[in-house]
Amino acid sequence: MPGLASPPASRMRRIAHILLHRPSYLLGRFATVRDAYSGLHRLKDAVSGATPLRIGDLYHPADATIEVAASGHVLGPSTAAEQVAEIRKQSYSLGPNLDKAAIAELQHCAKTLPLHFNEADVGTYEALSQSPERRGNLALATIRNAASLPMIRALAGDKMLHEAASLFLGYRPTEVSCWFFWSLANHLSDDERRAASQTIDYHYDVDGFNFLYANFYLLDTDDMNGAHALIAGSSRHKRLRHLLGSARLGDAEARETYGPGAERVIEGPAGSGFLEDTSCYHKALAPVSADRLMLQLRYR
C-alpha cells in the first residue's frame, strides 16, 4: 500500500535512529568496535594517568568517588589474569567469592533497608514477607541507595575486582554501577515477569562500548531459585542477523546455534561469585522454590 514503508526500509530507519541517539547500543554489539574502544582508552590512560573510580546505583549517575584498595572480603583462588583468560575463552569465570562477614552484612541490609521497583517504594523485604499478596505481585525488588552502603563501596573498589576489570577492559575503569536486588519466588507467569523487565529470556547486554560484570549470590542459589544461565563463548561469536536484530534469542535457537553443550547454569552457595562478559547470551531462571538475592557490579 502507498505510504507504508517496507520492512527493510523500516529497519534501516530504526538503525539510523539508534546510531544518531544511542550509537553505543548498536556499535557496542561488535567485538571489533569494543576492541578499538579499548585501545583508545588504553592510550588515554597512558597519557593522562590514573582516573578516580566513581560509583552509583544502576541507571543513576555515578557521582561518588571510591578508593581502590584491598577490601579483605573478596577471596579467590585464581589470579585476575587467569580469570580474564577464562572470560575471553568462555565468556565467564567462576570466582572470586565473598567472605562470611560480607555475606552477613549484605544479607542484613537486604532484609531491613527500603526496596523499590522502578523507583516506586515497596517497603522492606521483612514487610513483604508478612504480606503474601504484595510480594506475590513483584518479580524484582531493588535495595534503594545501595551504592551508599560502606560494604558495597568497599567491594566495588576492591583491588582484585578492579584489576580484573582493568585487564579485561584494557584500561582502568572509571565507573562502577551496583544493582543489589531480590528476585522473588511467587506465582507470576513468564509474561508477567517479562513485563516487569525480569530477563528470563536469553539476551546479550550492550552496556556501552565496553563493560565487565561481577556477580555475587548472597543466598544459596540453584536452578530452582533463580540461578544465572549463559551460553559459553557467545560473547564474541554471533551471527550477523543476531548482531543487527533483536538482542534476545529463544532457548531453542540458542541451543541450535551454539549446541546444547554450550549452555551453563551457574549454581553455588551464598558468597559465590563469577565474572562475566555480558556480551554473551545469558538469562536469569525464574525462581520457584525460594528467593534469590544478588549483588551485581558493572565496570565500565
Please give the Cα distance from 280 to 266 (Å, whole number): 14
Inter-CA distances, 216 with 59, 164, 274, 282, Å: 19, 15, 7, 16
Model pLDDT, residue 14: 63
Q: Judging by DSSP bridges, how do beta strands 212-217 and 248-249 pair with one another?
A: unpaired
- The neighbour count for residue 222, using CB atoms within 10 Å, is 17
The residue assigned the cell 551457574 is: 266
d(CA 294, CA 140): 11
- Please tell me the pTM assigned to this model: 0.93
> Which residues does 222 contact at the CB level (< 8 Å), separation at least 6?
267
Per-residue pLDDT, 77: 86
Percentage with pLDDT > 70 across the chain: 93
Q: How confident is the model at residue 22 (pLDDT cuts 50, 70, 90)?
A: confident
List the grid coordinates of 130. Answer: 508478612
Phi and psi at residue 264, to the nearest 5°: -125, 140
Q: Is the dihedral of CA 206, 207, 209, 213 positive or negative?
A: negative
pLDDT at residue 90 tops 80 = yes
More confident: 99 or 45: 99
According to the model, what pLDDT value does residue 1 have?
A: 40
CA 233 to chain centre: 17
Residue 101 has pLDDT above 60, yes or no: yes
Average pLDDT across the chain, whole number:
93
Q: 151: pLDDT confidence band, cut at 50, 70 and 90?
A: very high
Average pLDDT rounded to a whole number, residues 143-152: 98
Q: Which of 18-22, 47-51, 225-229, 231-235 has the lowest mean pLDDT?
A: 18-22
H helix runs in the chain, sequence order: 7-21, 23-27, 31-48, 80-90, 100-112, 125-129, 132-135, 150-156, 159-169, 190-195, 240-244, 251-258
Domains delineated in the chain? 7-299 (2.60.120.620)
Q: Which residue has the higher pLDDT, 245 or 276?
A: 276
Spatial CA neighbour of 215 closest among 242, 249, 250, 179: 179
